């Protein structure tokens, strides 16, 4: 159980923030390996993974959120809103599409798309979107020039990421690139936008938390820690990587994974 908790935590931390789809990888891993360990589909452990990824994104962007809080307090006191206060407002508005669609259709989408071939198709579709956005983006805007329309467009893209295989970070970074933002700024906004979504998912799943034994408590702690540490490192890596590189390495990885699923499916 300890090994399983650490492995699943690492998988969650990596795939939640790299543009390769966490839900898609989990579905494909279960299908390809037949792994039905104790923690697979365990609701308490699912809470641990969400808490871990929430810790990761808050940990990395802690100074940003502190500045955002001060900016909002200044607005309440009568100051004119600066770009940081506006950015908080944009994040709130851009969260609405994913929140509404997620609460209404998340279970339906995840149930329908548990078929490996559909996940592979979503991996390919997401790859095409990522490649086109990266290839043709002007990449001339910085985060300080974010507009409401661009933020809401990224929010709509985030709602599409409910489909396993699409990747929340992949589609939202692509939407930012389509709006003409630099890669690292598109990634930064993507991760900031993920914070309320991950927090909301964690809160909604808290009702399933049940640490009824020492084993459950140990699994919860290990899952939280491993997903938090690896998630933090994944965020740090991706933002720095995109300062100098395109998203092509992730596009090719996704296409290779989709091809492997197709071959394995045909072989069976």
pLDDT reading at 54 higher than 80 = yes
Dihedral sign (CA 148, 151, 153, 156): negative
Tell which wins on pLDDT, 204 or 231.
Answer: 231
What's the full length of the chain, in residues? Answer: 268
* DSSP label at residue 20: T
Q: Per-residue pLDDT tens for 58-93?
A: 999 999 999 999 988 888 887 767 888 899 999 999
Please choose, from the candidates 145, 148, 152, 141, the residue with its C-alpha nearest in 3D space to the C-alpha of residue 177. 141
Residue 181 pairs with which residues in a beta bridge?
141
Share of the chain above pLDDT 70, in %: 90
DSSP 99-121: HHHHHHHHHHHHHHTTSHHHHHH
Q: Is the dihedral angle over the CA atoms 254, 33, 25, 245 positive or is it negative?
A: negative
In this predicted structure, what is the pLDDT of residue 29?
A: 81
Q: Is the pLDDT of residue 179 over 90?
A: yes
The pLDDT-based confidence of 31 (bands split at 50, 70, 90) is confident
Alpha-carbon distances of 173 from 6, 39, 84, 85, 89, rounded to whole Å: 28, 31, 19, 21, 19
Q: What DSSP designation does 206 have?
A: G
Mean pLDDT score of the chain: 88
Mean pLDDT of 237-244: 95
Token pair listed for 65 = 């959120």
Mean of pLDDT values over 23-36: 80
Asked whether residue 105 carries a pLDDT value surpassing 80, the answer given is no
Per-domain boundaries in the chain:
2-267
Give the model's pLDDT for residue 99.
87
Residue 44: is its pLDDT beyond 80? no
pLDDT, tens only, 145-162: 999 999 999 999 999 998
Residue 267 has pLDDT above 90, yes or no: no
Beta bridge partners of 141: 181
């Amino acid at each position: 159980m300890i090994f399983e908790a650490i492995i699943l935590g690492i998988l969650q931390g990596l795939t939640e923030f790299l543009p390769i789809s966490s839900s898609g990888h989990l579905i494909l891993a279960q299908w390809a390996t037949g792994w039905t360990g104790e923690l697979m589909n365990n609701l308490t452990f699912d809470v641990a993974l969400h808490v871990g990824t929430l810790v990761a994104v808050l940990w990395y962007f802690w100074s940003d959120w502190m500045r955002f809080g001060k900016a909002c307090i200044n607005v309440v006191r009568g100051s004119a809103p600066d770009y940081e206060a506006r950015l908080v407002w944009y994040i709130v508005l851009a969260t609405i599409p994913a929140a509404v669609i997620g609460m209404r259709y998340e279970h339906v989408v995840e149930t329908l798309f548990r078929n490996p071939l559909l996940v592979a198709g979503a991996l390919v579709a997401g790859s095409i979107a990522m490649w086109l956005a990266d290839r043709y983006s002007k990449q001339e805007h910085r985060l300080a020039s974010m507009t409401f329309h661009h933020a809401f467009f990224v929010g709509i893209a985030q709602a599409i990421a409910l489909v396993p295989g699409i990747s929340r970070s992949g589609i939202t970074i692509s939407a930012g690139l389509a709006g003409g933002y630099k890669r690292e700024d598109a990634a930064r906004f993507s991760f900031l936008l993920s914070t309320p979504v991950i927090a909301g998912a964690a809160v909604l799943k808290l009702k399933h938390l049940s640490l009824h034994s020492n084993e459950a408590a140990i699994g919860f702690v290990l899952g939280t820690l491993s997903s938090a540490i690896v998630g933090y490192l994944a965020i740090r890596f991706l933002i720095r990587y995109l300062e100098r590189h395109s998203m092509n390495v992730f596009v090719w990885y996704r296409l290779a994974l989709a091809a492997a699923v197709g071959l394995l499916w045909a072989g069976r």
